A and B are shown apart, each in its own frame.
Chain A
Amino acid sequence: MKILVAIKRVVDYNVRVQVKPDGSGVATDGVKMSINPFDEIAIEEALRIKEQGKADEVVVVTIGSNDSQQQLRTAMAMGADRAILVESDQAVQPLQAAQVLLKVIEQEQPGLVITGKQAIDDDNNQTPQMLATLWNRPQATFASKVEFTGDNQLQVTREVDAGLETIQVELPAVVSTDLRLNEPRFVKLPDIMKAKRKPLDVKAIGDVLPNAEGVAIEVLQHESPQPRQKGIMVESVDELIDILKDKGLVS
């Protein structure tokens, strides 16, 4: 079985992003870029499945600028076998991303697709569900545990508001990862060298998806969130309780 992992290059999660003064976007010049943390977990899960002998190839794919090659190389240094870059100078929105990924699926015929539940830049949380829909296959979103149970069946534990929900899906399927699914491995220097020789296929988005359907949502403006008012520091529990009582928050 082949596993396809879809990843995205995003501003590193440790960076506190700033809105540009003219409201046209957020400042990304010179900012550290990384694999979306949820996608890193997706890569790790695919590798573990392969290491258990349940898959024989892990292919990573991304849609993005040419710079995204860096993130694909990192994924291959982690252990992915090969990579596909669907090159696009413009940001793609989830519905278009899902259409591109469906084309890649048609080409690659994976038995399982794993991807992060959301990218921490746009926080959309849509692409995996849309992909599963267009592909007409099951989805198991927000996964914190993935187990193979019998032929072609996956049992997935999902992190939901009420606790942990378990569902059973038939393969092929799309799994979207939550943070507690695993802890991604660190890449070692020799693996980075090895990854340089692994195949990385670059395709133009217009060739992969000549006729995208649907329209993009227009972004009119970026702004900084309203800052909270500056608070106060107290010295003692008595002072704290007085304030809480004053505000009517405790009796």
Chain B
Amino acid sequence: MDRSISWKRFFRQWGAFIILGGGVVLGILYFYLQNPIITEAVLASAVRQATPLVLGAMCGLMGERAGIINIGIEGQMLLSAFVGYLVNAWTGNLLVAVFVGVATGAVLGLLLAFMSVTLKVDQIIGGTVINIIAVGLTGYFYQAGLTTKGKLAPIALGKLAELPIIGRALFNNPPITYAAIILVFVLHYVLFYTKWGLRTRAVGEHPRAADTVGVNVYRVRYINVILGGAIAGLAGVFLTLEAVGSFERLMTNGRGFVALAVMIFGKWSPLGSWGAALLFGMTSAIQTQIQFAGVLDIPHQFIGMLPYLLTIVVLAGVVGRSRPPAADGIPYEKE
């Protein structure tokens, strides 16, 4: 990103976000002073809940930054979760399972790219096709009772893990959660500070302009959508191999769609999406705490709605205006 962005412009875009974030941090400090153990537990849970969301959001934004809307994230996550889980159940190997799961996501990304870039199918329909394929395949081949052989376990990073407040949340996580955090920074760098990122954003804003300076629009779109699919695949295997340890029908439970809200909330940027995902993760974690503690005497279904309510509020555009890439969703015709 050109460092010339003035403070005013920066604040117009991120002001609401920063104020909200500041409020949340103050809230956390307040609760930490009240009850450090529960607060740390909520934070740690928030980070893990955020993992599939931020991964899904990064999948979405890679596509949309290049001009391809991906509403098939849910399906990519679901099928990858299932395939990763099956591979692990058969081979007993976690690493191979993760790898195959990620590859599954990438293949679905390739399918989406083929439909939307080459065939120029309406992208909403393309994404829906992927969701239907995933629900169909996982439902058909589902076997009850299988469990994974082992789960990806947390790795504490020495003294860092003992830091107050953030230690447990950030430095005592299983591998995919770490990977997600690292990916956030890597992708942010790639998108805003490298040649590839500049070209990707140009292709998403004004593909013909990119074409006229010799950028291969189709190639940029393919690669971004495929890599995005791989990231969604990582989110999928997170669910089966790191979080739960088995597969259930429709276990993604709308996370692929919530990820889109996270992406929009995060203004199509990896760092912003991470912030948004943490907020969503936090509502999930708090929601669980409320249910456990039984402090509020309302049916748990209502409390369970919290993250989805937040999604609606975000999509209704309450938290600042965000502008999608200008060529988002529009197939590119060369002549």
Q: Please say whether chains A and B are actual partners in one complex.
A: no
